[in-house]
């Protein structure tokens, strides 16, 4: 299948276009853009900068991909925006390239859904099968694990890590790291438990979920001992359980943000 470009669109001759690319009306594609096979820009899409879009991705009207990041430290360095395969990028979505202070690349995985008005800022690393609902916003340097879901109007502070399979409730402001499989709710978000609905939908076994729930309770239940001691206790008690091990590894990884905790009872 040959490339199809609507006559109203402006596509730089240096842009690299894969087989079967379709560029609809009133799009703009810059010289350093690489569109993979069967990428489709429906209409009124702008793709600029050093931007690569993987095969089968569909981009809807008024999305802006690859323009300079909203970071005053950015000085025009040749950073990149890399978008994976088979993503759906809906209307008015914005994604920015990286900066020198963040590794020079913003990277989005495969099979994601980025709903109307969602934003991926500079130097973010977004995994596979991620969903950003309407107007969900990632600050700079955010990491989002596979299968995470961010509800509408949620906002994630810069440098925060969102673990795989986590669920962020709508209108939540997330300032601290969210464990894998965590459920987050609240204007100033707190950990509200595990994403049990997501675990069921992803096909985890009852035994896996049962072990995860028990480990979560042991780790986050109020107690007289320290969090570090509870961490070691969970590590011993649930050795060999993959889901628990993922949470423990996430907690132990180096991070510039604190770990999001449950809300304490009685206002404590």
Count each helix (H run) and each strand (E run) in the chain, helices first. 4, 28
| H-helix or E-strand spanning residue 230 | helix 227-237
What is the dihedral angle through the alpha carbons of 130, 93, 77, 35, rounded to the nearest 10 degrees? 80
Q: How many CB atoms lie within 10 A of CB 19?
A: 11
Q: Collapsing DSSP states into helix, strand and coil, what is residue 191?
A: strand
Which residues are part of the catalytic machinery?
Answer: 122-123, 140
Indicate the Cα dihedral angle 242, 249, 211, 221, nearest 10°.
180
Each residue of 48-61: b (16+ CB within 10 Å) or e? bbbbbbbbbbbbbb
Distance of alpha carbon 113 from alpha carbon 5, whole angstroms: 25
Q: What is the DSSP string of 15-28?
A: -EE-TT-EE-TT-E
């Amino acid at each position: 299948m040959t490339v199809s470009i609507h006559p109203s669109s402006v596509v730089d001759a240096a842009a690299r276009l894969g087989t079967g690319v379709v560029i609809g009306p009133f799009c703009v594609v810059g010289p350093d853009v690489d569109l993979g096979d069967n990428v489709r820009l429906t209409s009124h899409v702008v793709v600029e900068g050093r931007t690569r879009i993987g095969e089968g991705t569909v981009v809807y009207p008024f999305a802006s991909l690859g323009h300079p990041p909203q970071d005053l430290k950015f000085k025009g360095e040749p950073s990149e925006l890399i978008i994976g395969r088979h993503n759906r990028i809906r209307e008015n979505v914005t994604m920015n390239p990286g900066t020198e202070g963040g590794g020079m690349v913003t990277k989005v995985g495969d099979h994601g859904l980025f709903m109307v008005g969602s934003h991926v800022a500079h130097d973010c690393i977004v995994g596979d099968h991620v969903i950003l609902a309407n107007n969900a916003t990632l600050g700079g340097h955010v990491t989002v694990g596979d299968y995470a879901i961010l509800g509408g109007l949620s906002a994630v502070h810069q440098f925060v890590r969102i673990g795989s399979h986590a669920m962020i409730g709508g209108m939540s402001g997330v300032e601290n790291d969210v464990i894998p499989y965590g459920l987050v709710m609240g204007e100033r978000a707190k950990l509200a438990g595990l994403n049990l609905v997501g675990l069921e939908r992803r096909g985890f076994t009852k035994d896996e979920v049962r072990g995860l729930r028990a480990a979560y309770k042991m780790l986050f239940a109020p107690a007289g001992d320290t969090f570090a001691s509870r961490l070691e206790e969970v590590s011993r008690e649930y050795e060999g359980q993959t889901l628990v091990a993922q949470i423990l590894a996430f907690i132990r990884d180096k991070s510039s943000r604190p770990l999001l905790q449950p809300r304490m009872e009685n206002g404590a």
